[in-house]
Structure 1
Amino acid sequence: MNFKYFYLYILVLAFSCSPKTTIQPEDNKVATPVSLMTIGNEEVYADEFLHLLSKNRSFLEKEGTISKADFEENFDLFVNFKLKVKEAENRGLHQTEEFDREFSMFKEDLIKPYLIKNSLQEGELMKAYNRMQEIVKASHILLQFPNNATREDTIAVFRMAQKLKTQAEEGEDFNELALNHSEDPSARENKGNLGYFTALQMVHQFEDAAFGLKVGEISEPILTDYGYHIIKLEDRKPNPGEIRVSHILIRSQSNDPVSEERILRKVSEIYAELQKPESVWEDICAQYSEDQGTKNTGGLLPLIGIGSVIPEFERVAFSLNEIGEISPPAKTPYGYHIIRLEEKRSLPQFEDMEAMIKSKILRDSRSTLIQSQVTSIQKARYQFLENETLVDSLEAFFDKSSRNEAIEKIQKTNLSNRVIFSAGGEERTVQDLFDFMQSSGQVVRVGNRNLMSAWYEKFVETKLNQAEENDLASNNKEYQLTLKEYRDGILLFTLMNENVWQKALEDSLGQVAFYEEHTDRYQWKERVEAIIVKMSKDDFTSSVKRFLADKKYQENLVSRLENTFLNDNPLAFTVDKDVFEMESHPVLSRAIANKAFQEIKANNNTYFVLLGGKIPPGRKKFEETRGKVIQDYQEYLDQSLLETLKSSYIVKVNEEEKNRVYELVTKN
């Protein structure tokens, strides 16, 4: 997260750092709201205070109460927060381009959890993850449509699919039917057997149908972009998760029987060599494997799951049970593999897979399905009314002309100002659609659709999204409060940055003046010159102690010590040489002040200390304490700003409402 936005988040939540509070929701009563306080001419209501106070709190724990003192402290912080926001607004900080840009960015992220699309998307993510708990084995027969298929062609393919389903259910061998009728090219080799797969490895219509079947059951004809499928579920079982294997590959040329026989003898001899107790897998792999990418790394392959590699390899790899177990040679289109099991992992938790699942869903046809569902819900919720006759008329113009020509022709008629649809209480005209087409910056994929249809669909989608956003902003209290929280937080950050933080950093004259006025804050206590040796390895403790025991504090002693021990053993110890305040130092505070050399045990570590000259208490130089001066100067500027604001704005607190809020947050 950008530091600025992290700091902004901390600021907005700053006043909610007191002990946990239990806040009971108010009864859902329709009543005229009563303000908690007024700042200038602006009324501030209790729900905003409660929203911010409840951040990161447990509402249900019995011990989550707040004392009167804590409540008053939080309330004062809230008043200060609102004063600063009020000042930022009066300075016009909410009207700048930078504010608009930052608030829009926050708003885009904040609204996502409240949208219909998000809840549907979350449902699809969880459905996919739940399906991933299983793997299914299925066979299918694919019937495709002829090029430029007519309606009659489509019906004929569907009837043929129904006929094949009936034949299979009446006892004919499904895989023989697939061999004879399926238009999937792989059916010649696998007789329609697709092997095992899990969620997100097939198009979603096929997946839905397969996972909805019982073992042995045959589906109705399922339509996908490839044609009609008849699916038979062969098996289903728990997902074995992921495995990591290594392999030795000997490539083969299946069209040469003599070469094939020689390769088979070679791989058999390699396998026999691996059975010997003295054999080393990595050495044999490096010597014989013909997978140039892995032979020098022990043949190690990435993690694989069901459906992620070719079936011949997968079947053998997942049949291995014990780590280190080696398979007999397995034939695949690439040649012969000897496979060793290296690692087994169960299916990760949903949180670990969520990003991957979401990425796959948004890339496949499920995303279109989700958007279609969103649009349907939005149309019902926001009373979508469409002028279908007008839409048909517009499509006719675009069928006969280019985009610009069609728009120009329509604009010469009386259609431009006619309402094409209404949603969320707002009417949209044909001209609104044209303006959207010319200036929205949207990318629209036309595909097989009419140009007008594609743009009109995107226009409807955009305006329905706006209707949903407007509805949330008007009627969803939680979203309103969250949006206001971040809006005010941006204003607060900007005001504080200009008047406190950045000002304190850049105002060098102000820093010095503040330092001169408060020198009593920047004083050294008694200090001492010291060398502190922290031992890291016990083996050297005695040697280092003997070396230091008869020494006195000297400027060159550290280099002599390091040259003696660290050249050969750089991790034996660490050395710290400086001027320290003994009283506050975690090690020196345990030392005897007048003893030159001493051994000190602290925090399970051994330290050797050499004390030098003492320096009496005195004033710190500005350069020695500049960081602390800037910090104090910032606090001073903050307090000065607050004092100015409190004298500039009249704050009136509704004590009755404030007491009601206090009772609410302390109610068990």
Structure 2
Amino acid sequence: MLYRLNLILIFCLLGLNMQAQSDDPVLLKVGNSDVHVSEFKYIYEKNNGEGADYGTKSLTEYLDLYTKFKLKVEKARELQLDTISSLKQELEGYRKQLAGSYLIDKEVTDALLKELYGRMDYDVEFAHIFMPLPEHAARSQQEEVLAKMREAKSKLVAGVDFSKVASLYSEDKNTNVNGGYMGYMTAKLPSGFYNLETAIYETPIGAISDIVRTKIGYHIVKVINKRKARGIVEVAQILIDGDNFKLADSIYHLVLKGEDFETLVKKYSIDKNTIRSGGRLAPFGINTYDTVFETTSFLLKKDGDVSTPVKTTSGYHIIKRLHKYDKDTYDIFVKKMKAQLSKDERFDIAKVKLVDEIKKSAGFKENKEALTKFKSTLTEEFYTYKWMPDENISKEMLISIGKDEYSVASFGDFCKKNTKIRLRYDRSKPITETVDELYKEFINESALSYEEQSLETKYPDFKSLMREYQEGILLFEVTKMNVWDKANQDTIGLKNFFQEVKDKYVWPEKASLAEISISNVDKKTADKIRKYVIKNDLSRLDKKYNKKSKIVSYITKEVEKGDLEMANLKWEKRAVSPLIVDESGMNYTLRKVLDILPSRPKTLAEARGYVVADYQEHLEKEWLQQLYKEYNVVVYKDVFNSLKKN
């Protein structure tokens, strides 16, 4: 199915079609089908890439190509191929493959990528109040910690200074002594900290966030400042002992006078890790090294600039800027980050948000009483592979999304099928809480399934994508009927075609070549055998040299001029190559031209693959000529000319 899909896409030659608009004139009319400018431009640019220069030549060529495509699709519709049940089922199969990933890509992945790319423009300075809590803590423990955080938040709302509240409540031992101050950070934070990242970036300067949950606990954030992101820089350094400013200063002045920086690194730097690389450090962003070191590095204005000696706990640093990296373009960023985001916690959070929006717009309803009854029937066996839903499980409605209704029995089947989710939870966790987690998953899956049903209505580009697949299937089938199958099955037509063009299928002049192997002999013996090969027929070799053991053998093949096997050989009968010896000095090979075979015509059997391909091309040309006669093709010249840029 995948191979067929690839063929369909190759023949389709189109991308996502834009919707016709009032300012989107018709460029081309094929039979009863209109092609608007937006559709053609998108396809033209997508398939021509950098070659889409809107020149007369490229536009004309592509319009001709696309017209032929539309003619074939028009024929397929006339033959009612779009009503064949097997093809409709195939299209539905493609739709199922596309729908889930499309919805997530469109509403989750794309939004997260744009959000993260925008956040990376800024570094944010903040402080926080933190209380730890294990990721899968019991609900009672969650409520206990959350109550303390609410107490801290109430004091902040009442006007108590943030640093004072942090010192009283925060359990971050590294920062509670300095008012919870964390310094600057930049996106993206690691998986599990997306809510914290969002609070940091979306809270206004001077404001305090709501309580946010991460995988390590709860946080309240105060944003202090925002600045343009420092990005990534690459530097080299000379590190001098912290008690020797005089030496550091003298080296700095040597650099100013033009002394080679790498030479000074090797002579004076005490950083053993970077001496061999001329003091070069790997490219870095903020929060990698000491704040003083980083700030100095980022303040250097251009490549080659060198700092005065700056002191950190490691000693005195003389820093040379090597390169400041620009932010990636969005396209490059997407290629780097898309796969990572799908594994990040933020991906799951965004999916939940999407589900909430679907539920709201679809009028989601649930029967919590029915869920409670279901929970009451469960025992600890629910945590095992053996568990099965009760045979008498209720058929009453559990949830409804739009017009779709799901019963308690449906949820029971979901729980059985999702054994891994059931077994993921420890028996120490109450069954009711485990069922709640499964219930959330059930709602998520049902909501996404509901939304997938209406993709064509809500997302015009998905509708266009499905049209692409449909027309691709039609093109595949109609071409198969009129070209591919006919070329392979019409034996009489193929023979007649071959008779008309057989002069193009010719074997070139070839040499019948023998490759002779000589094993386990010395050079003198090998030379004797070569002389014998020159004068005698190879059929006599076995009797002459293989009496006691097989030391000579040969194979024959046919080769053309220019083949590697003809190296060091004349193109003439009985030509013999020099001996070639292997590394052992005991095994030799040589080649002999047995005969020169003249050029001759190929038979149909010998050229069948090429003949069938040419016959298909011939049939397609004839078919297209007929299609141009059957269907009226109109190109609106004024619209076409308006596309030209040169």
- TM-score tier (shorter): 0.5 to 0.7
The AA in structure 2 aligned to 1:306 is: I
- Rate the CA distance shift 1:421–1:301 in 2: closer, same or farther, 3 A: same
Work out which of the residue numbers 422, 439, 446 in structure 2 matches 1:463: 446
Report if aligned partners of 1:219, 1:231 keep a CA contact under 8 Å in 2. yes
1:437 aligns with 2:415: yes
- Residues 85-164 of structure 1: pairs in structure 2 closer than 5 A: 86=81, 108-109=97-98, 112-113=101-102, 115=103, 118-144=106-132, 149=141, 151=143, 154-163=146-155
Aligned residue in 2 for 1:186: 174
1:454 aligns with 2:437: yes
Aligned residue in 2 for 1:198: 186
Aligned residue in 2 for 1:219: 208
Q: SS at 1:304's partner residue?
A: coil
- Rate the CA distance shift 1:397–1:219 in 2: closer, same or farther, 3 A: same
Report if aligned partners of 2:18, 2:42 keep a CA contact under 8 Å in 1. no
- Rate the CA distance shift 1:418–1:6 in 2: closer, same or farther, 3 A: closer
- Rate the CA distance shift 1:5–1:189 in 2: closer, same or farther, 3 A: farther
- Residues 344-355 of structure 1: pairs in structure 2 closer than 5 A: 344-355=324-335
Aligned residue in 2 for 1:9: 9
Work out which of the residue numbers 43, 56, 59 in structure 2 matches 1:56: 43
Q: In 1, distance between residues paired with 2:234 and 2:317?
A: 15
Aligned residue in 1 for 2:297: 317
1:242 aligns with 2:232: yes
Work out which of the residue numbers 248, 272, 276 in structure 2 matches 1:296: 276
Report if aligned partners of 2:72, 2:478 keep a CA contact under 8 Å in 1. no
| Shift in Å, 1:107 | 5.5
Deviations 1:2-35 (A, max 9, x none): 9986654341138x9xxxx99954899xxxxxxx
Aligned residue in 1 for 2:567: none
1:76 aligns with 2:78: no
Q: In 2, distance between residues paired with 1:645 and 1:73?
A: 7
1:634 aligns with 2:629: no
Q: In 2, distance between residues paired with 1:346 and 1:364?
A: 25
Aligned residue in 1 for 2:472: 489
| Shift in Å, 1:433 | 2.3
Structure 1: which 5+ residue stretches go unaligned? 29-35, 38-44, 251-262, 525-576, 579-618
Deviations 1:63-97 (A, max 9, x none): 9999999997565333456589939969x6887xx
- Rate the CA distance shift 1:145–1:520 in 2: closer, same or farther, 3 A: closer
The AA in structure 2 aligned to 1:219 is: I
The AA in structure 1 aligned to 2:147 is: I
- Rate the CA distance shift 1:183–1:195 in 2: closer, same or farther, 3 A: same
- Rate the CA distance shift 1:150–1:104 in 2: closer, same or farther, 3 A: closer
Aligned residue in 2 for 1:411: 390
Report if aligned partners of 2:9, 2:472 keep a CA contact under 8 Å in 1. yes
Work out which of the residue numbers 240, 243, 253 in structure 2 matches 1:275: 253
- Rate the CA distance shift 1:358–1:667 in 2: closer, same or farther, 3 A: same
The AA in structure 2 aligned to 1:139 is: A
Aligned residue in 1 for 2:576: none
Q: SS at 1:466's partner residue?
A: helix
The AA in structure 1 aligned to 2:330 is: F
Report if aligned partners of 2:81, 2:474 keep a CA contact under 8 Å in 1. no
Aligned residue in 2 for 1:258: none
| Shift in Å, 1:390 | 0.9
Report if aligned partners of 1:144, 1:228 keep a CA contact under 8 Å in 2. yes
Deviations 1:328-352 (A, max 9, x none): 5556676765432111133333233
Q: In 2, distance between residues paired with 1:388 and 1:320?
A: 62
| Shift in Å, 1:473 | 5.3
Q: SS at 1:302's partner residue?
A: coil
Q: SS at 1:411's partner residue?
A: coil
Report if aligned partners of 1:48, 1:481 keep a CA contact under 8 Å in 2. no
Deviations 1:356-415 (A, max 9, x none): 45456544443233122211222233333221111122234447653459954x615x43
Normalised by the size of structure 2, how large is the TM-score? 0.62
Report if aligned partners of 2:117, 2:330 keep a CA contact under 8 Å in 1. yes
- Rate the CA distance shift 1:360–1:194 in 2: closer, same or farther, 3 A: farther
Deviations 1:264-321 (A, max 9, x none): 2468636633532464333444466566654322233333233455545422322322
- RMSD of the alignment, in Å? 5.8
Report if aligned partners of 1:398, 1:406 keep a CA contact under 8 Å in 2. no
| Shift in Å, 1:223 | 2.8
Which shifted more, 217-226 or 236-245?
217-226
Q: In 1, distance between residues paired with 2:185 and 2:387?
A: 49
1:420 aligns with 2:407: no
The AA in structure 1 aligned to 2:393 is: L
Q: In 1, distance between residues paired with 2:37 and 2:412?
A: 46
Q: In 1, distance between residues paired with 2:378 and 2:312?
A: 53
Which shifted more, 366-375 or 2-11?
2-11
| Shift in Å, 1:421 | 1.8
Report if aligned partners of 1:142, 1:183 keep a CA contact under 8 Å in 2. yes
- Residues 28-39 of structure 1: pairs in structure 2 closer than 5 A: none
- Rate the CA distance shift 1:266–1:492 in 2: closer, same or farther, 3 A: farther
Q: SS at 1:351's partner residue?
A: helix
Normalised by the size of structure 1, how large is the TM-score? 0.60
Q: In 2, distance between residues paired with 1:639 and 1:86?
A: 24
- Rate the CA distance shift 1:479–1:164 in 2: closer, same or farther, 3 A: closer
Q: SS at 1:141's partner residue?
A: strand
Report if aligned partners of 1:200, 1:360 keep a CA contact under 8 Å in 2. no
Q: SS at 1:246's partner residue?
A: strand
Report if aligned partners of 2:68, 2:624 keep a CA contact under 8 Å in 1. no
Report if aligned partners of 1:504, 1:630 keep a CA contact under 8 Å in 2. no
The AA in structure 2 aligned to 1:318 is: F
- Rate the CA distance shift 1:347–1:455 in 2: closer, same or farther, 3 A: same
Which shifted more, 322-331 or 367-376?
322-331
- Rate the CA distance shift 1:178–1:384 in 2: closer, same or farther, 3 A: closer
Structure 2: which 5+ residue stretches go unaligned? 25-29, 46-53, 508-560, 563-597
The AA in structure 1 aligned to 2:170 is: S
Report if aligned partners of 1:505, 1:630 keep a CA contact under 8 Å in 2. no
| Shift in Å, 1:508 | 13
The AA in structure 1 aligned to 2:400 is: S
| Shift in Å, 1:434 | 2.8
Deviations 1:503-539 (A, max 9, x none): 9899999999855531455799xxxxxxxxxxxxxxx
Q: In 2, distance between residues paired with 1:516 and 1:246?
A: 75
- Rate the CA distance shift 1:398–1:247 in 2: closer, same or farther, 3 A: farther
Q: In 1, distance between residues paired with 2:398 and 2:499?
A: 73
The AA in structure 1 aligned to 2:433 is: N
| Shift in Å, 1:418 | 2.6
| Shift in Å, 1:232 | 3.6
Q: In 1, distance between residues paired with 2:341 and 2:149?
A: 29
The AA in structure 2 aligned to 1:78 is: V
- Rate the CA distance shift 1:644–1:213 in 2: closer, same or farther, 3 A: closer
Q: In 1, distance between residues paired with 2:296 and 2:62?
A: 66
Which shifted more, 271-280 or 340-349?
271-280
- Residues 253-652 of structure 1: pairs in structure 2 closer than 5 A: 263-265=241-243, 269=247, 272-276=250-254, 277=257, 279-286=259-266, 294-307=274-287, 309=289, 311-328=291-308, 337-358=317-338, 361-398=341-378, 402-403=382-383, 408=388, 411-412=390-391, 414-439=392-417, 446=425, 450-472=433-455, 479-489=462-472, 492-493=475-476, 515-519=498-502, 633-637=612-616, 640=619
Aligned residues: 524
